[in-house]
């Protein structure tokens, strides 16, 4: 039995916490270092949040502040 489902999941977290690496691991079963900052696109995030089916929160285990900052991302997502 095969299923064809499409879900839009928004991945949120601080810069350099591993968001792209997690996605590549799921999508391509590979690992790549990503050093691109997406902070400049912060203003268009609301449109992504609005149409998403779910949210994956990612943080760096070695950076407590990245975990604490998830609250800010969650507040932005929950407003939409």
Q: Give me the DSSP letters along 4-68.
A: -----EEEE--TTSSHHHHHHHHHHS---------GGGGGGHHHHHHT-SEEEE---TT-HHHHH
Lowest mean pLDDT: which of 4-13, 18-27, 46-55?
46-55
Query: What's the CATH code of the domain at 63?
Result: 3.40.50.300
User: pLDDT of 27-37, one tens digit each?
Assistant: 886 655 554 45
> Is 1 inside a domain boundary?
no
CA dist., res. 27 & res. 21, Å (int): 10
The residues with which 11 forms a beta bridge, in sequence order, are 56
**Residue 49 belongs to some domain of the structure:** yes
Contact 54, 6 (CB under 8 A): no
pLDDT band at 68 (very low <50, low <70, confident <90, very high): very high
For residue 35, the model assigns a pLDDT of: 45
Q: Supply the range of the domain harboring residue 53.
A: 9-79
Quick check: is 63 in a domain? yes
What's the predicted TM-score (pTM) here? Answer: 0.70
2 part of a folded domain: no
């Amino acid at each position: 039995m095969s299923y064809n489902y499409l879900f839009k999941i928004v991945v949120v977290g601080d810069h350099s916490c591993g968001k792209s690496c997690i996605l590549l691991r799921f999508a391509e079963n590979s690992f790549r270092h990503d050093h691109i900052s997406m902070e400049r696109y912060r203003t268009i995030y609301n449109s992504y949040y609005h149409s998403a089916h779910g949210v994956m929160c990612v943080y760096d285990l070695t950076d407590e502040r990245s975990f604490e900052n998830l609250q800010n991302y969650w507040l932005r997502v929950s407003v939409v």
